[in-house]
Amino acid sequence: MGMKKQSKTIRQVKPRTQGVTMVMDKGLGVHAFTDWAEMVEEYVDFVKLGFGTARLLKQAHLTKKQVIAKQCQINLYPGGTLFEYYAAQNKVERYFELVIQWGFSWIEISDGSYSFSKEQREKWIKAAKEKGLHVITEIGKKEAGVVIPWKDCCTQYRRDLDAGADYVIIEGRESGMNIGMYDQNGELDHTYVQQIIKQVGGERMIWEAPLKKQQVALLHLIGQNVNLGNIAPDEALSVEALRHGLRADTFGWW
């Protein structure tokens, strides 16, 4: 793909609403997390504790991560699979109690592995907001090869925002392969993304893009301030370099 000429844009400073970067933490130790967060604090906005791993951490370790994340203005939150774990057992209210007890102020509501009605989804978003929680939802299934039609994606995006969601993630998993907007080789379906942007703008969408070629494609398609998610911790600086034209793939963005 040829380089799309970008006009110079201003990179928002934190706390920003556009150009957010969400990193997936699948098990960083407290010391490693602290060193990493202090290095990238200007560039990372969210850290998702992948899958249901938040439930496996000792409270002392979780608290230490929350303290350093707060100091670095990074929003730490548990992955959507943990929400689904409790939803499947009809224990969502208990889940809300636990995440507040654990010190989280952001949660993710998703249905990637466990399906429920749109009405139930809306009810849970509103219930979380009433408890003072910020909500990130996710659209997409974990099953390989499943694609949510772009029209349905747009409809769900609007519904989630109307219910009170702060951001809506577009599923890409941690592999970025054969899921949603990515084919078996991890190539982006440009038409799919363009249709969504045309219909709803997508300012509050976070596009999961674990692979460099996906990050580059979305940056060229949407621009410097696209919201990107499921970034590996050691790729956070690399993604920011892409945003600023400090890598060959986006060289000349000034």
Residue 245 domain-assigned? no
In a domain, 2, yes or no: no
**Which is higher by pLDDT, 9 or 63?**
63
Tens digit of pLDDT for each residue in 64-98?
999 999 999 999 999 999 999 999 999 999 999 99
- pLDDT for the residue numbered 141: 85
Looking up tokens 């556009």, which residue turns up? 18
Q: Between β-strands 167-170 and 205-208, what pairing exists: parallel, antiparallel or unpaired?
A: parallel
Q: What is the CATH number of the domain that holds 200?
A: 3.20.20.70
Q: What is the C-alpha separation between 174 and 42, in angstroms, rounded?
A: 23
Query: What is the SS3 string spanning the chain?
Result: CCCCCCCCCCCCCCCCCCCCEEEEECCCCHHHHHHHHHHHCCCCCEEEECCCHHHHCCHHHHHHHHHHHHHCCCEEEECHHHHHHHHCCCCHHHHHHHHHHCCCCEEEECCCCCCCCHHHHHHHHHHHHHCCCEEEEEECCCCCCCCCCHHHHHHHHHHHHHHCCCEEEECCCCCCCCECCECCCCCECHHHHHHHHHHHCCCCEEEECCCHHHHHHHHHHHCCCCCEEEECHHHHHHHHHHHCCCCHHHCCCC
- For residue 44 the two structure tokens come to 């990372």
Distances (CA, A) of 178 to 142, 150, 173: 10, 16, 10
Instruction: Kindly state whether residue 71 falls inside one of the protein's structural domains.
Output: yes
The strand pairing partners of 108, in sequence order, are 136
Residue 1 resides in a domain: no
Q: What is the mean pLDDT of residues 99-126?
A: 96
- For the chain, how many structural domains are there in total? 1
Average pLDDT, the chain: 93
* Residue 27 resides in a domain: yes
Q: Tell me the whole-structure pTM to 2 decimals.
A: 0.94
Q: Do the domain assignments include residue 213? A: yes
Q: Considering the domain boundaries, does residue 6 fall inside one?
A: no
Tell me, what's the pLDDT at 3? 40
Q: Label residue 166 by pLDDT band (50, 70, 90).
A: very high
The answer to whether residue 10 is domain-embedded is no
pLDDT tens digits for 173-201?
767 777 789 999 999 999 999 999 999 99
Full domain range(s) for residue 165: 21-234
